[in-house]
Amino acid sequence: MATIGRVIVLIWVDILAVYAMYIMMAYLTNVWKIGFTHAAAIVNVFWGVVTASPLFLAYIVETITGNYWMVCTSSIAYAIGLGLLSMSTPPVLANAMGTCSEYKPECIGHGQVILFYTAMALIAFGMSGHMTSLGSFMAEQLVELDDDDSDRFDESTFWRFFFSILAVIIFTFIAVIALPFIKPWSLRFGIPAICTLVATLLFLSGSCSYRCFKPVGSPLTMFVRVFVAAVSKLFYRSPKDAKKLYEIQNPEIYGVPHTRSLRCLDKAAIVIPSKPLEEQEKNIWRLCRVTEVEETKTIIRMIPVWMTFILCGVVSAIGFTYFVEQLEHLNPKVGRLKVPIVVLLWFYEQAQNQFAGLYAKFSNSLGRTGSRKLAPSIGIAVSMILAILCCITAAKVENRRLGVVIKHGLVDKPDERVPMTMFWLLPQILLLGAFSGVFNYSAVSFFVDQSPVSTRNYLPYFINAVFGVGILGSVLSVYVVGKVSEKGGKKNWFQHDLNGSRLDKYYWTLAWLMAINLFIFIVVAILYRYKESELEDQQEEEFGGMDEPYDDNAKCFCCC
């Protein structure tokens, strides 16, 4: 139990740190006093890196480090990063930096700016590392080895783990509700920093008791080998008879039948007649199996589908940037009670989970009609429709907010609260959560159904990476839209503050772009060549529940 407890505390600090980073927009606009689009660019780059990095880190884990060392190094980076973030606030090092101690832009020196950006990079690595390995590492601890070295699930350990998780969630919920009422930003960032440091030390103290598994290699290497082998035989002609291509003819070995598309990659499986086959088989970078070639082809065929997901990431990015900035300028009170804006994040997460569960039921009902393979594509299309509705709702609410701003003469008073309850934003936040829930479930289902068996461990990372590119692309989209909006001498839609900007027009632009993206996806989905569905009837489960287990044949070793 002590071993599991040391790992569980890392989940606690993850939740606490995410909620602390959720209010980063407010810190940058209220303390640094930078333009809200500049602040959104910083936040989007941060979350884009966090979301896209696990694909690269997963490769490192499976080829070099293993889960323990990734969790270890990312936890240390997490603790240092949150500590530096707290130190970068004006009061902490005011005397050492020669600056004032108030939360004003003139009190932020060059040294504090360096600390801030260094902290953001370390926190991004810490979050990405935990996303990559923390779940897998915990799964390794929940499996016990029998005398015959076969894995056996320990039920008693599971229930202790379950109640520990429940206790952590309750404690974290209380901490998150209390965090927004703490005024000094140094403490808002400092409390998660202290908790992360304590959790990391607890985790490290149990290093010799953890069950770890050596890295067994990554299937992503196979794709590189196929391209290298194909290029190395560029001037060889592929045989007309596919049976002459290299494949291990063994019924016990997993095999995929040959297809005639993307035949240029078939060169990787050409057996050169002038050389002994035994000699060619030794060089895996010059000769690949037909199965490996076909799995590479499958991934390539998915690229057009992936490209339509990028704009989904752009829409997702508005949730933790512009929505948060709008919430900061609206009335947070219900009667005399002040409601923290992070409560609306809870509504977002609930909408995400509930709509994912509802679509899981719908997907299962489609399976009973024989249309299982179409369910993921339908779900992705539905999620894009929800994204369009979210953008339209956000545009109308922002238009109403600007009307209230003009009515009360607050255009030139960006620091004052607008007399309009923040719960006006609840519908668009719920729609954004519904979009994320249905999209995540459907995208994972699509890749489970259509991707090669060898790459299914990477499914969440592939999707997150594309989403991360979209979040990074939102920075470019704001810049491009802003430049286009000021053509002909017109006023740029994005000004220094929210009240002087036309964020509603940007939301309308995203709605139109997502409508075009939906049409492109439908065309791509119709043209896509589906293979027969392999999905089993699934109960309501969240995004992370579809991960494949770690390699059963890996050998155990002591972490210390």
Q: Looking at the structure, do residues 208 and 224 belong to the same domain, yes or no? A: no
Give the mean model confidence (pLDDT) for residues 505-509.
Answer: 93
Q: Looking at the structure, do residues 211 and 231 belong to the same domain, yes or no? A: no
Report pLDDT for 518: 94
pLDDT 10s digits, 355-364? 888 888 887 7
Q: Looking at the structure, do residues 328 and 248 belong to the same domain, yes or no? A: no
CB neighbour list of residue 176: distance below 8 Å, 6 or more residues apart: 15, 16, 19, 342
Residue 540 lies in a domain: yes
Give the mean model confidence (pLDDT) for residues 36-59.
Answer: 90
Domain end, chosen from 168, 186, 217, is at: 217
- Percent of the chain exceeding pLDDT 70 equals 84
Domain end, chosen from 298, 323, 346, is at: 298
Report pLDDT for 215: 80
Q: Looking at the structure, do residues 284 and 415 belong to the same domain, yes or no? A: no
Q: Looking at the structure, do residues 105 and 243 belong to the same domain, yes or no? A: no
- Taking CA atoms, 35 is separated from 30, 240, 483, 517, in Å, by 10, 62, 16, 29
Q: Looking at the structure, do residues 316 and 260 belong to the same domain, yes or no? A: no
Residue 47 lies in a domain: yes
Residue 555 lies in a domain: no
Residue 558 lies in a domain: no
Report pLDDT for 367: 63
CB 215 within 8 A of CB 143: no
Provide the 3-class DSSP secondary structure of residue 558: strand
Task: Outline where 408-502 has alpha helix (H).
Answer: 426-450, 459-485
DSSP output for 48-92: HHHHHHHHHHHHHIIIIIHHHHHHHHHHHHHHHHHHHHHHTSTTT
Q: Looking at the structure, do residues 274 and 327 belong to the same domain, yes or no? A: no
Structure tokens at 114: 């360096």
Provide the 3-class DSSP secondary structure of residue 330: strand
Predicted confidence band of residue 124 (pLDDT cuts 50, 70, 90)? very high
Q: Looking at the structure, do residues 353 and 365 belong to the same domain, yes or no? A: yes
255 vs 309: CA distance, rounded Å: 30
Report pLDDT for 2: 54
- Percent of the chain exceeding pLDDT 90 equals 19
Q: Looking at the structure, do residues 178 and 63 belong to the same domain, yes or no? A: yes
Angle between helices 310-317 and 426-450 (to 10 degrees): 150
389 vs 395: CA distance, rounded Å: 10
* Statement: residue 549 has pLDDT above 50: no
* Statement: residue 146 has pLDDT above 60: no
Radius of gyration of the chain from Cα atoms? 26
Residue 352 lies in a domain: yes
CB 123 within 8 A of CB 85: yes
Region for 149 from its dihedrals, namely left if φ exceeds 0, alpha if ψ lies in -120 to 50, beta otherwise: left
Mean pLDDT over all residues of the chain?
81
* Statement: residue 242 has pLDDT above 90: no
Lowest-confidence segment of 105-119, 301-315, 459-473, 507-521 by average pLDDT: 459-473
Lowest-confidence segment of 126-140, 367-381, 477-491, 495-509 by average pLDDT: 367-381
Domain count for the chain: 3
Q: Looking at the structure, do residues 199 and 234 belong to the same domain, yes or no? A: no
Q: Looking at the structure, do residues 213 and 224 belong to the same domain, yes or no? A: no
Q: Looking at the structure, do residues 121 and 195 belong to the same domain, yes or no? A: yes
208 vs 498: CA distance, rounded Å: 53
* Statement: residue 258 has pLDDT above 80: no
Domain end, chosen from 217, 233, 267, is at: 217
Residue 237 lies in a domain: yes
Residue 557 lies in a domain: no
Closest to 438 in 3D by CA, of 522, 364, 352, 345? 352
Structure tokens at 141: 């601890």
Closest to 509 in 3D by CA, of 392, 365, 377? 392
pLDDT 10s digits, 401-436? 999 888 888 888 877 888 888 889 999 999 999 999
Q: What count of other Cβ atoms lies within 10 Å of the Cβ of residue 478?
A: 23
pLDDT 10s digits, 169-207? 666 666 666 776 777 888 888 888 898 898 899 888 888
CB 213 within 8 A of CB 70: no
What residues make up the domain containing 67? 1-217
Return the CATH number at 407: 1.20.1250.20
Residue 554 lies in a domain: no
Higher pLDDT, 116 or 453: 116
* Statement: residue 373 has pLDDT above 80: no
Residue type at position 244: K
